[in-house]
Amino acid sequence: MKKRNPDFAFVDARMSSTYSLRRQEIVEDEPPVSEVKVRWPALFTERQISMEFTRLVSMDLSMSFYGGLDSHLLKLLQLYRSKRFEGMTEMTAILESLDKDASNQRKRAAVLQALPWYMRENPAKFMKICEPTNCEEDVIKRMTIGILAIVEDVKEPLPVIYSDVALVIEEQVVLCNLGDVPNAFMNLMGLLYVLNMNYPKELKYTFEVIQRLFMGIGVDSCTARVHTLKNKLLS
């Protein structure tokens, strides 16, 4: 039987025992994320994001996110390809990149990166891509909430290999080494719940789709635009 890492066990127990205090601080005091990170550094790890999310909503973060996403992958790609996007070069570029290598993980990335365009929103302030030689500080300026992907070729919408994928909140990298874009989206969803933060205003419909249609949280309370997509996915 595989023994549990004693360091993980200690941190897990401490985070569980201090949950009520932490929620009170975050919800009532609304401290800057930088202060939360200093006060609760373990909270900014993939493991604790997942565990805190489960404490909050009694759901498994990975299973709910990927389960819902995968159940709609093929239908969403079909909808993307059938919709006529006037001047939507970004959508076309994503789908053409997917055609080069349609692995399941790249389908996930394509669906998530193209979703804002399909929902008639612009992810320019949310999704930043830069080369390793670029100055990270300049790229994340004015990023309130977003994903930063560092790649060798910024012209490739769906890179095969990432130098790094990170989460940015309040112009700070709060979590890095996430591997790929789908994992970044999943951890960001969890972290926004953990930090009691609102979704980015410019992508409110995109995140509503992820929450309600993919993860099944509040699925009966969709806005009209998301409800329309829900009907298409079920047809």
* pLDDT over 90, % of the chain: 80
- Res 40: pLDDT: 96
Residue of 138, 139, 115, 113 lying closest to 128 (CA atoms): 139
pLDDT(1) > 50 = no
pLDDT(160) > 90 = no
Same domain? 43 vs 144 = no
The reply to whether 1 falls in a domain is: no
Same domain? 65 vs 53 = no
pLDDT-derived band at 138, boundaries 50, 70, 90: confident
Same domain? 188 vs 219 = yes
Residue type at position 85: F
Same domain? 32 vs 86 = no
- Res 181: pLDDT: 97
Residues spanned by the domain of 19: 6-57
pLDDT(6) > 60 = no
Phi, psi (rounded to 5 degrees) for 69? -60, -50
- Res 86: pLDDT: 54
- Res 25: pLDDT: 96
Burial class (CB in 10 A: 0-12, 13-18, 19+), 187: buried
Query: How many domains is the chain built from?
Result: 2
pTM to 2 decimals? 0.93
Residue of 145, 202, 192, 149 lying closest to 172 (CA atoms): 145
Phi, psi (rounded to 5 degrees) for 102? -100, 50
Same domain? 49 vs 82 = no
Same domain? 53 vs 148 = no
Same domain? 131 vs 208 = yes
Q: Cβ–Cβ contacts within 10 Å for residue 164, how many?
A: 15
pLDDT(170) > 50 = yes
Same domain? 188 vs 82 = yes
Average of pLDDT values for 116-121? 94
Same domain? 189 vs 92 = yes
pLDDT-derived band at 85, boundaries 50, 70, 90: low
- Res 56: pLDDT: 96
Average of pLDDT values for 84-102? 83
pLDDT: which is higher, 140 or 213: 213
Taking the C-alpha atoms of residue 186 and residue 91, their distance in angstroms, rounded to an integer, is 21
Structural tokens at position 15: 């985070």
Tell me the pLDDT tens digit for each residue of 8-59: 899 999 999 999 999 999 999 999 999 999 999 999 999 999 999 999 999 9
Same domain? 42 vs 77 = no
Is residue 119 within 8 Å of residue 83, measured between CB atoms?
A: no
The reply to whether 173 falls in a domain is: yes
- Res 5: pLDDT: 59
Poorest-confidence range of 79-83, 171-175, 218-222?
Answer: 79-83
Residues 6+ apart with CB under 8 A from 93: 157
- Res 2: pLDDT: 47
